[in-house]
Structure 1
Amino acid sequence: MRVSLLILAFSCMAGAALLARNAWAQQAEPLGGCLSPQEMREAVPEHHLADSYRVIKHVSSEHRAEAVGAKLCRQGGKFVYELTLLPHDAKEVLHVLVDAMTGETLSGKPPK
């Protein structure tokens, strides 16, 4: 009985996580191609983009989370940083899009 309840609870949590991920993906405009690390290093000064280290540090602090991934991608004719964060409470992985020119958070607003 307990095993069945644990399996049911895990299945519900996994389903909820998938639904939340799909909802986030549908709200955001699709990302164009993401740059390789070498292309990213070249694009930042060439296009006058915000320093990725400072963006990661700021967004991680805002979300009280550890950055576990960062990519520079094209979206709608501009560059965005796609950050993957693991909150200190480790409830769920967060995906945050940040305008690479201004450093403004576009999606994945921090908790209040």
Structure 2
Amino acid sequence: MSIRFLILAAAMLTAVLGASASQAAELKAVGKLADGQCLSPAQRRHVSASGKVVPLGKAIRAAKARRSEVVDAKLCKGSKGLVYLLTLLAHDGKVTRATVDAASGTLAEGG
């Protein structure tokens, strides 16, 4: 083995371990959010990468059953776990909100 290979392998391992620690810190921070607080972009990426939530596209499809366009989406902590809070614009111009369970991708009751 060459020195060059060992240095490259060490650098790659350091990068992977650093990313894992960063992801763990972001996921831990999500657990400390109060109900109603929304995740930062970095937290959203880490939670999505962890597989703990459905992709945003699935949540949008659930909300589009209302025949509206999604104009804003946030991933927030709800009382029973993470939820997507979607702002919808209907064809008549009316703005409504929908709540989608982020774990299952189903439209929440009353949401």
TM-score > 0.5, shorter chain as reference: yes
Contact persistence 2:62–2:107 (CA under 8 A): no
Say if 1:89 and 1:81 are closer, same or farther in 2 by CA, change over 3 A.
same
The one-letter amino acid paired with 2:43 is E
Give the CA RMSD over aligned residues. Answer: 2.0
**8 A contact 1:72–1:79 mirrored in 2:** yes
Partner SS, residue 108 of structure 2: strand
Aligned to 1:42: 46
**What residue in structure 2 maps to residue 51 of structure 1?**
55
Contact 1:94/1:108, CA 8 A, preserved across alignment:
no
Structure 1 portions without partners, runs of 5+? 1-29
1:58 and 1:105, CA in 2 relative to 1: closer, same or farther beyond 3 A? closer
Contact 2:38/2:75, CA 8 A, preserved across alignment: yes
Question: CA–CA distance in 1 between the matches of 2:106 and 2:60?
Answer: 12
State the match for 1:93 in structure 2.
95
Structure having the higher Rg: 2
- Give TM-score scaled by structure 1 length: 0.61
CA shift at 1:77, angstroms?
A: 4.4
> Which 4+ stretches in 1 moved above 3 angstroms?
none
TM-score, normalising length from structure 2? Answer: 0.61
Partner Cα distance (1:85, 1:31) in 2: 22
Moved more, 44-53 or 62-71: 44-53
Report the 3-state secondary structure (helix = DSSP H, G, I; strand = E; otherwise coil) of the residue aligned with 1:106: coil
% identity of equivalent residues: 36
For residues 35-82 of structure 1, give each alpha carbon's deviation from its aligned partner in whole angstroms, at most 9, with x where no partner exists: 12221121123252110122113312x011111100000011400000
Query: Would the aligned equivalents of 1:85 and 1:95 in 2 still touch at CA under 8 Å?
Result: yes
Unpaired runs of 5+ residues, structure 2, are 1-33
